[in-house]
Amino acid sequence: MYQHTRLTSNNLNFFYKFRNFDYILLTCILLLGFISLATMYSTDGGKILFHTKSHFTKLITFTFMMLFFSFINIKFWFSIGYFSYLIVIGLLVWTYLFGITSSGSQRWIDLYFINLQPSELMKIFIILCLAKYFHRMKLEQVNSIYTILTSLIIIILPMGLVIVQPDLGTSVLIAISGIAVLWFAGINHKYFIFTMLGFVISLPFIIAFLKPYQKLRVLTFLNPDRDPLGSGYQIIQSKIAVGSGGLFGKGFLKGTQSYLEFLPEKHTDFIFTLFSEEFGFVGSAFLLIIYAIIIYRIVAIGAQSRSYFAKIFCYSFGAAIFVYITINMSMVLGLLPIVGSPLPIMSYGGSSMLATMIGFGIVMSAKVHNQQSIA
Amino acid sequence: MINSSSDNVRKLNSLNRRMFITGSLKFFIMIGLVSRLFFLQVKENKKYLTLSDKNRIREWKLAPVRGEFLDYFGNIIAGNFEAYQLHIIPEQVENFRYVIYRVKDLLELSDKQFKKILKKKNEIKPWETLIVSDNLSWNKFSKINNHLYDLNGVKPVISISRNYPYKENFTHLIGYVSQANENDIETNEQIKKNFVPGLKVGKVGLEKSFENDLIGTNDIERYEVNAYGRRISQLEFQKGEKGKTIKLTIDTEIQKLTNELLKDQAGSICVMDIYTGSIIAMHSSPSFDPNLFVFGISQDDWQLIRNDPMKPLVNKTLQGNYSPGSTIKPIVALSALENGIINPNFTVKCNGKTEMYGQTYHCWKKKGHGFMNLRNAMKQSCDTYFYEIARRLGVDKLSVTAKKFGLGEKVFGDLFDIEKKGLIPNTEWKKNALGKGWLLGETIITGIGQGYIQTTPIQLCLMTAQIANGGHKIYPKIIVDEDNYDIINDKFTPLYENSKNIKIIQDAMFGSTNEVMGTSYRSRIDNPKYQFAGKTGTAQVKKITEKDRELDLKTFEIPYEDRDHALYIAFGPYKNPRYALSIIVEHGGNGSTTAAPMAKKLFKSIIDRHLLREAINNKKYLEI
Burial A39-62 (b: 16+ CB within 10 A, else e): bbbbbbeeeeeebbebbbebbeeb
Residues B373 and B232 in one domain: no
Q: Of B220, B247, B274, at which residue does a domain stop?
A: B247
Q: CATH number for the domain including B276? A: 3.40.710.10
Residues B223 and B271 in one domain: no
Backbone angles phi, psi at B467, to 5 degrees: -75, -40
Instruction: Give the pairing of strands B279-285 and B57-62.
Output: unpaired
Residues B420 and B532 in one domain: yes
pLDDT at B374: 92
CA distance A368 to A364: 6
pLDDT at B184: 87
pLDDT at B150: 78
A53-67: average pLDDT: 94
- CB atoms under 10 Å from CB of B483, counted, come to 6
DSSP β-bridge partners for residue A100? A108
pLDDT at A187: 86
* Residue type, position A201, single letter: I
pLDDT at A276: 93
Tell me the pLDDT of chain B averaged across its residues.
Answer: 87
Residues B433 and B374 in one domain: yes
pLDDT at B621: 60
Q: Tell me, yes or no, whether B305 lies in a domain.
A: no
Residues B112 and B128 in one domain: yes
Is residue A32 pLDDT above 90, yes or no? Answer: yes
Residues B496 and B615 in one domain: yes
Q: Of B224, B247, B270, at which residue does a domain stop?
A: B247
Q: Tell me, yes or no, whether B6 lies in a domain.
A: no
User: Which residue in the set A257, A261, A333 is minimally distant from B37, CB to CB?
Assistant: A333
User: Which residue in the set B14, B41, B55 is minimally distant from A246, CB to CB?
Assistant: B41
Q: Tell me, yes or no, whether B29 lies in a domain.
A: no
pTM across the whole model = 0.66
Is pLDDT larger for residue B73 or for residue B4?
B73
DSSP B173-217: HH--EEE--HHHHHH-HHHHHH--TT-EEE-SHHHHHTHHHHS--
Is residue A202 pLDDT above 80, yes or no? Answer: yes
pLDDT at A6: 46
Q: Tell me, yes or no, whether B203 lies in a domain.
A: yes
* Share above pLDDT 90 across residues of chain B, in percent, rounded to a whole number: 45
Instruction: Give the pairing of strands B69-70 and B246-247.
Output: parallel
pLDDT at A8: 45
Q: Tell me, yes or no, whether B301 lies in a domain.
A: no
pLDDT category at A231 given cuts 50, 70, 90 is low
Determine, for residues B37 and A281 on separate chains, whether the beta-carbon distance falls below 8 Å: yes
Segment B441-453, tens digit of pLDDT = 899 999 999 999 9
Residues B375 and B426 in one domain: yes
Segment B389-399, tens digit of pLDDT = 999 999 999 99
User: CA of A116, closest CA in chain B: separation in Å?
Assistant: 31
Residues B238 and B279 in one domain: no
Q: Tell me, yes or no, whether B42 lies in a domain.
A: no
Residues B467 and B398 in one domain: yes
Find, among B505, B408, B502, B414, the residue nearest to B459 by Cα.
B408
Q: Tell me, yes or no, whether B36 lies in a domain.
A: no
Q: Tell me, yes or no, whether B298 lies in a domain.
A: no
Task: Determine contact, residues B212/B188, Cβ cutoff 8 Å.
Answer: yes
Segment B127-164, tens digit of pLDDT = 677 888 878 888 888 888 888 887 777 878 777 889 99
Is residue A280 pLDDT above 60, yes or no? Answer: yes
Strand ranges across the sheet with A100-102:
A100-102, A105-110, A115-116
Residues B193 and B258 in one domain: no
User: First vs last Cα of chain B: how many Å apart?
Assistant: 119
Determine, for residues B49 and A244 on separate chains, whether the beta-carbon distance falls below 8 Å: yes
B344-369: average pLDDT: 88
Residue numbers in A near B30 (CB within 8 A): 288, 292
Q: Of B247, B273, B303, at which residue does a domain stop?
A: B247
Residues of chain A in Cβ contact (below 8 Å) with chain B: 138-140, 183-184, 186, 237, 239-247, 256-257, 260-262, 276, 280-281, 284-285, 288, 292, 295, 299, 302-303, 308, 311-312, 315, 319, 322, 326, 329-330, 333, 335
pLDDT at A57: 93
**Helix pair angle (A233-245, A271-304), 10° resolution:** 80
ipTM: 0.89
- Minimum mean pLDDT range among A335-349, B111-125, B402-416, B479-493: B479-493
Find, among A40, A50, A27, the residue nearest to A343 by Cα.
A40
Determine, for residues B34 and A322 on separate chains, whether the beta-carbon distance falls below 8 Å: no
Determine, for residues A246 and B49 on separate chains, whether the beta-carbon distance falls below 8 Å: yes
Is residue B485 pLDDT above 70, yes or no? Answer: no
Is residue A7 pLDDT above 50, yes or no? Answer: no
Find, among A327, A357, A354, the residue nearest to A342 by Cα.
A327
User: CA of B91, closest CA in chain A: separation in Å?
Assistant: 18
CA distance A175 to A320: 10
Highest mean pLDDT among B31-35, B101-105, B219-223: B31-35
Residues B238 and B341 in one domain: no
Structural element, H or E, at residue B225:
strand B219-225
Among chain A residues, CA nearest to B22: A319
Residues B175 and B259 in one domain: no
- Number of structural domains found in chain B: 2
pLDDT at A1: 38
B193-222: average pLDDT: 87
* Share above pLDDT 70 across residues of chain B, in percent, rounded to a whole number: 97
**B138: containing domain:** 60-247
* Residue type, position B270, single letter: C
Among chain B residues, CA nearest to A260: B226
Segment B507-559, tens digit of pLDDT = 999 999 999 888 999 999 999 999 999 999 998 887 777 777 777 777 777 88
